[in-house]
Structure 1
């Protein structure tokens, strides 16, 4: 199935379902549900997302917890917003709109070494993705790969302390009440350096994405293979795209 035909089908498959909250243990089940409803094979989805067939299979079977970047890449490839993926149903798209996320609301999910609470999931076509993150990782060795996505990212430490590692700068530490703003196309990772897990606010934005490409995306417009390779986070090397 061609990507142009598959993407609208995926959007319809997501919006046709109902539900309020997305369990952190259901990412694989949700992915399989959307893929099958759109009539896609794993190989189709792999070609649309630049994620290897083997890794997609592991996600669907609950063998791995996909990272922020992989969830973003899957949503982008399917042209499905994060909001529609984790919280199916109609979203407000009118101008002058607003939404409020209360203390006991939001959509929770786990991705790699981070736990997330997504805010503002009632709205589609958002230019920013606001997330509360619990950083559980305490060493770079706990990660299979570095985070990297188009755009810019703002991070503010709500509780605890984190150390931010990037490909271009020396690691730096942020204490409670401190923040950083950086180019998220750099490879980057967060680890907690406090006794407890760190709690942070992360807001991502892609200033170069057109309005049509911002439908709840994790700031990576379009679907493309990365320099002709499929990325498989379960392996240290990349796989040449055919």
Structure 2
């Protein structure tokens, strides 16, 4: 799991969380669904999380209430944050759905050299990350080397 500020993860979970009065979440089913989405056996998931297979089985079957330490290990093993264990899964979207982001209403992310505005935040499982960028830097010297990415 990448190093991320835990306070930021909580903020993201709250901002992206469900409605105020969400249905109760069955933690055991959620953990099982997350494991199966990765095509992991109970043994593989337990090994990833650093938990005993029997412990993970009891959590999935609702026979055990996990400690915070166990929840943290589960989250790290599944490469998610602890709040995401309690966040209902996002339902698949319908293809062809459209979202309009009006000028200035996208999520803003500023860096020292750019101002980024994320577009189409309402769409999940996008094949790309649409955004609008405005260059803040006024000199090539303000850039710290070349920007590189795998794409």
Structure 2-normalised TM-score? Answer: 0.43
Bigger proportion of residues as helix? 2
Higher Rg:
2
Say which structure, 1 or 2, has more relative contact order (CA 8 Å, 6+ apart): 1
